[in-house]
Amino acid sequence: MKRYLLLALALLFAAIYLFPVYWMYATALKTSGSIFKYPPELWPSEPLVQVSRVFAEHDIGRYLWNSLLVASGITAITMLLGTGAAYALANARGTKANIALFLVIVLQVLPPSLMVTPLFVAFNHVGLLDYPRTAVVLATAAKTLAFYIVLCRATFTQVPRELKDAALVDGNSHLGAFFLIILPLARNGILITSVLVFLQSFGEYVYSRSFIATRELQTATVNLATYLSANSADWVGLMNYAGIYVAPILIVFILLQRQIVTGLTSGALK
């Protein structure tokens, strides 16, 4: 009985928490006149599906594809550089390691909105702006990397040193121990952090807006923002757009949820 009570409580928490997401979809279904009514309609009285209108009007598919490319690139670079560094930093002792960890944190202090101008100047100088999506990937990975390293480091510290030492005694090199013993053990932490990085980079906005000059290459967030500023009166259209934008991520998330969540509960070592 207590277990179902807990479930009910959990559902209540989730319902409260998810209200803004519900509100986004509810607003998307209202007519532009009814959204200003007081008291607000908790459920649209005459639901009006405008999704296809908004989707077609804005060629959203193309922009979602660009976002997907950019986010995949960012996640790949982050995992490639971050996993090893996080592992090494979890093991390392001494001043040098501290300095490295310190740099990792400090170097991501400024919000992208303040980093973007110097980066633009530098990228333009070396010709990177001719490859705008690559430029976005490289710049954003520098943001996500720190996040990834700090989190994965925490995962690696939970892998007991004895396991690694045992692997080394068994005749593995450090390289071998890392790939054969440590990585599989830390798999869940890495997976979760990577998913978080991917979801974050999917929403990247400031760099994409500034580096990508060609419209065909722009990401969905930039397109969404253009829409937002141009039609700031069209709240319904905006919520539709946001709803469409979020949908693929939600679907991927629901499909992967089992893996992610199992990863979570089983912990790093079980």
Partner 1 sequence: MLQSGFAKYLRDGKGFEGTLIVAAVLYLLVFAAFPLIYTVVMSFQEVDMFTLGTLVRPFAGLQNYTDLFHRPEFAPIVWNTVIFVTLSIAFQLTIGFALALFFLQDFPGSTYVRGLFLAGWILPALVVGAVWRWIFAGDFGVLNYALQSLGLIDGQIYWLSDPAYALYSVIIANIWLGIPFNMILLSVGLAGIPGDVYEAAEMDGANVFQRFLTITLPMMGPTLGAVIALGVIFTLQQFDLVAALTQGGPANASNVAQYWSWQMSFQTYEISGGATVATMMIALVIVVAVIYVRSVQREQSF
Partner 2 sequence: MMRKLLLGLVFSTAATSAVIAAPVTLQVWALDEPVHFTENMAKEFEAKNPDIKLDIKLVNFANILNDTIRAVSTNTAPDLLMLDNPDIASVASHDVLLDLSDRIAASKVVDAKNFYPGPINQSTWKGKIYGFPRGGNTLGLYYNADLFKAAGLDPTKPPQTWDEISAAAAKLTDAKKRQYGFGFSAVATEESTFQFLPWAQSAGGDFNAINTDGSVRALQFWQKLVDDKVATPEVLVLNQPDLGSQFVAGNIGMIVTGCWELPRFAKEVKFDWRVALMPIEKAGAPRASALGELAYAVPKTSAHPDEAFKFLEYIYSQSSRDWNEYGWLPLDQTATPKDPKWPEAYSVFAEQMKYARGRGPSPVWPKVSKAIQTAIQDTLTHKTDAKTALDTAQATIDGLIK
Q: Which of residues 225-264 bind partner 2 (CB under 8 A)?
A: 225-227, 229-235
How many Cβ atoms sit within 10 Å of the Cβ of residue 172?
Answer: 16
By CB under 8 A, tell whether 33 contacts partner 2.
yes
Phi, psi of 29 (to 5 degrees): -90, -5
Helix (H) or strand (E) holding 58: helix 51-58
Q: Does 121 bind partner 2 (CB under 8 A)?
A: yes
Site for partner 2 in 5-24 (CB under 8 A): none
Kindly write out the interface string for residues 53-82 of this chain, putting x where it contacts partner 1 by CB under 8 A and - elsewhere: ----------------------------xx
The CA–CA distances, whole Å, from 13 to 17, 24, 182, 220, 265 equal: 6, 18, 36, 31, 19
Q: Which does 217 bind (CB under 5 to 8 A by kind): partner 1, partner 2, none?
A: none
Instruction: State the Cα–Cα distance between residues 44 and 166, nearest whole angstrom.
Output: 63
Kindly state whether residue 107 participates in binding partner 1, applying the rule CB under 8 A. Answer: yes
By a kind-dependent CB cut-off of 5 to 8 A, residue 146 interacts, out of partner 2, partner 1, none, with: partner 1
Question: Can you tell me the distance from the alpha carbon of 208 to that of 79, in angstroms, rounded to the nearest whole number?
Answer: 21
* Residue 205 binding partner 2, by CB under 8 A: no
Q: Which of 70, 85, 181, 217 binds partner 1 (CB under 8 A)?
A: 85
Angle (deg, nearest 10), helices 183-202 and 132-157: 140
Listed ranges 18-26, 33-41, 133-141, 161-169: which one lies at the site for partner 2 (CB under 8 A): 33-41
